[in-house]
């Protein structure tokens, strides 16, 4: 069994990765400073839990001793707050990522899995594939794509084995439900359960590729533990479902009681993942659909 370090391991996606690693018998170190505006944090009592800031090299250095795999999820993870405070987003997502990479290099980590975002595609035509040029429409996207470039550079220059995931819209258990910038499925379910109208941003015709958190966890575990050629590293891999659905359709799966609020700047009309690279390299396949998951929650 291996020693794994998960940054952002008390957040939505990271906490699921921690739980799965522990279930599989790995030793896990979880680093999170509870920076996120989430209503809950999920610390697994079987991990070594460290409340520390990834931008502070000396605060986190000792925890990289003996680590085999790093799952790097700690971030300013939302577009809205990053638009309000770009300096903070750049600090966490760029300096923080460089700090995690540098420590991974220093302690000869076997692989580093970096959670990036489909927002790197911006207004590229759909379906989005990994060879499309970057199109960063907001500070969040700039900061996450900068993190990707750092990962590729650490692979090319220092031989650190990195894998870069571009997640599309992740949903599932533990997704934050409060605040206007949290995932739409969580907001809609909370509004429905408390008898409120569902607030649809813009005209609701925007389409999103929704991917289940359990499928995202499996992508991380497969990419960490599958034997692959060296040329698989330092590259971007889309993690989506390979289909998309409009926000109006998501809302109507939950309730007919809807209301419309003004559109936001810096957000795209459509995203849709081409997922063949992840399938071919790691044998990954999404197993859940957003329609099925929403039905299970009602
Ligand atoms: N949820 C999605 O749909 C989605 C889509 C694309 C990419 N991502 C990426 O996936 C990762 C995880 O996202 P999430 O949805 O679980 O978000 P999240 O906000 O729930 O998790 C991120 C965690 O990082 C922690 N953190 C923030 N700054 C930190 C710091 N300086 N030091 C230590 N910990 C810090 C937060 O407290 C939080 O617990 C992020 O990197 C995000 O950019 C998420």
Give the pLDDT band of residue 182 (cuts 50, 70, 90). Answer: confident
Task: Tell how far the Cα of 74 is from the centroid of ligand 1, in angstroms.
Answer: 5
- CB of 213 closer than 6 angstroms to any ligand 1 atom: no
Q: What is the pTM assigned to this prediction?
A: 0.97
pLDDT digit string (tens) for 129-140?
999 999 999 999
- CB of 240 closer than 6 angstroms to any ligand 1 atom: no
Task: Please state, rounded to an integer, the average pLDDT across all residues of the chain.
Answer: 96
Task: Tell how far the Cα of 76 is from the centroid of ligand 1, in angstroms.
Answer: 6
Nearest CA among 75, 14, 25 for reference residue 49: 14
- CB of 141 closer than 6 angstroms to any ligand 1 atom: no
Question: 181 pLDDT exceeds 80?
Answer: no
Q: At what angle do helices 184-193 and 247-254 cross, to 10 degrees?
A: 30
- pLDDT for the residue 268: 83
- CB of 33 closer than 6 angstroms to any ligand 1 atom: yes
Give the pLDDT band of residue 265 (cuts 50, 70, 90). Answer: confident
Give the pLDDT band of residue 100 (cuts 50, 70, 90). Answer: very high
Alpha helices in the chain (DSSP H): 12-23, 57-60, 79-84, 86-90, 96-106, 139-158, 184-193, 213-225, 247-254, 276-282, 290-297
Alpha carbons 233 and 247: distance in angstroms, whole number:
34
* Catalytic residue set: 140
Q: Which atom of ligand 1 is nearest to the CA of 176?
A: 20
pLDDT digit string (tens) for 282-296?
999 999 999 999 999
Helix (H) or strand (E) holding 117, with range, is: strand 111-117
**Contact predicate 47/31, CB 8 Å:** no
Question: 180 pLDDT exceeds 70?
Answer: no
Superfamily classification of domain 3-169+212-239:
NAD(P)-binding Rossmann-like Domain (3.40.50.720)
Range 106-112 average pLDDT: 98
Cα–Cα distances in angstroms (integers) from residue 119 to residues 58, 105, 277, in the given order: 31, 27, 18
CATH architecture label of 172-209+243-271+288-297 = Alpha-Beta Complex (3.90)
Task: Tell how far the Cα of 144 is from the centroid of ligand 1, in angstroms.
Answer: 11
pLDDT digit string (tens) for 190-213?
999 999 999 999 999 999 999 999
Alpha carbons 10 and 26: distance in angstroms, whole number:
17
Alpha carbons 9 and 25: distance in angstroms, whole number:
17
**Domain locations in the chain as residue ranges:** 3-169+212-239, 172-209+243-271+288-297
- CB of 32 closer than 6 angstroms to any ligand 1 atom: yes
pLDDT digit string (tens) for 54-83?
999 999 999 999 999 999 999 999 998 999
Kindly give, in sequence order, each residue whose CB lies less than 8 Å from that of residue 29, ignoring residues fewer than 6 positions away. Answer: 3, 4, 5, 6, 47, 48, 50, 63, 67
Query: Hey, which of 31, 75, 97 would you mutate to test ligand 1's pocket, going by the most ligand atoms within 8 Å of its Cβ?
Result: 75
Range 15-27 average pLDDT: 98
Nearest CA among 21, 1, 5 for reference residue 222: 21
pLDDT digit string (tens) for 142-173?
999 999 999 999 999 999 999 999 999 999 99
- CB of 146 closer than 6 angstroms to any ligand 1 atom: no
- pLDDT for the residue 177: 85
Query: Hey, which of 50, 71, 77 would you mutate to test ligand 1's pocket, going by the most ligand atoms within 8 Å of its Cβ?
Result: 77
Higher-pLDDT residue of 245 and 39 is 245
Question: 267 pLDDT exceeds 80?
Answer: no
Alpha carbons 57 and 73: distance in angstroms, whole number:
16
Q: What is the DSSP letter of 61?
A: G
- CB of 170 closer than 6 angstroms to any ligand 1 atom: yes
Q: Which atom of ligand 1 is nearest to the CA of 91?
A: 31
Task: Tell how far the Cα of 49 is from the centroid of ligand 1, in angstroms.
Answer: 16
């Amino acid at each position: 069994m291996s020693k794994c370090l998960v940054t952002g391991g008390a957040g939505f996606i990271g906490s699921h990765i921690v739980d799965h690693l522990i279930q599989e018998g790995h030793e896990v170190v979880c680093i999170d400073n509870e920076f996120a505006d989430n209503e809950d944090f999920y610390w697994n009592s079987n991990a070594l839990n460290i409340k520390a800031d990834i931008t502070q090299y000396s605060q986190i250095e000792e925890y990289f001793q003996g680590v085999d795999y790093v799952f790097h999820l700690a971030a300013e993870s939302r577009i809205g707050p990053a638009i309000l405070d770009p300096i903070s987003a750049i600090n966490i997502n760029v300096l923080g990522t460089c700090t995690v990479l540098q420590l991974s290099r220093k302690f000869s980590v076997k692989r580093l899995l970096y959670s990036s975002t489909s927002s790197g595609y911006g207004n590229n035509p759909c379906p989005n594939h990994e060879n499309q040029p970057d199109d960063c429409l907001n500070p969040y996207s700039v900061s996450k794509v900068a993190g990707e470039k750092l990962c590729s550079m650490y692979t090319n220059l220092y031989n650190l084995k990195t894998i870069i995931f571009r997640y599309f819209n992740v949903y599932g258990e533990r997704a934050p439900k409060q605040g206007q910038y949290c995932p739409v499925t969580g907001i809609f379910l909370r509004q429905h359960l408390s008898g409120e109208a569902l607030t649809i941003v813009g005209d609701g015709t925007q389409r999103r590729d929704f991917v289940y958190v359990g499928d995202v966890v499996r992508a991380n575990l497969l990419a960490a533990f599958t034997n692959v050629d060296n040329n698989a590293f330092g590259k971007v891999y889309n993690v989506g479902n390979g289909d998309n659905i409009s926000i109006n359709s998501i809302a109507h799966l939950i309730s007919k009681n809807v209301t419309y609020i003004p559109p936001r700047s810096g957000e795209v009309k459509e995203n849709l993942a081409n997922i063949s690279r992840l399938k071919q390299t790691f044998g990954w396949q999404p197993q859940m659909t957003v329609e099925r998951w929403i039905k299970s929650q009602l």
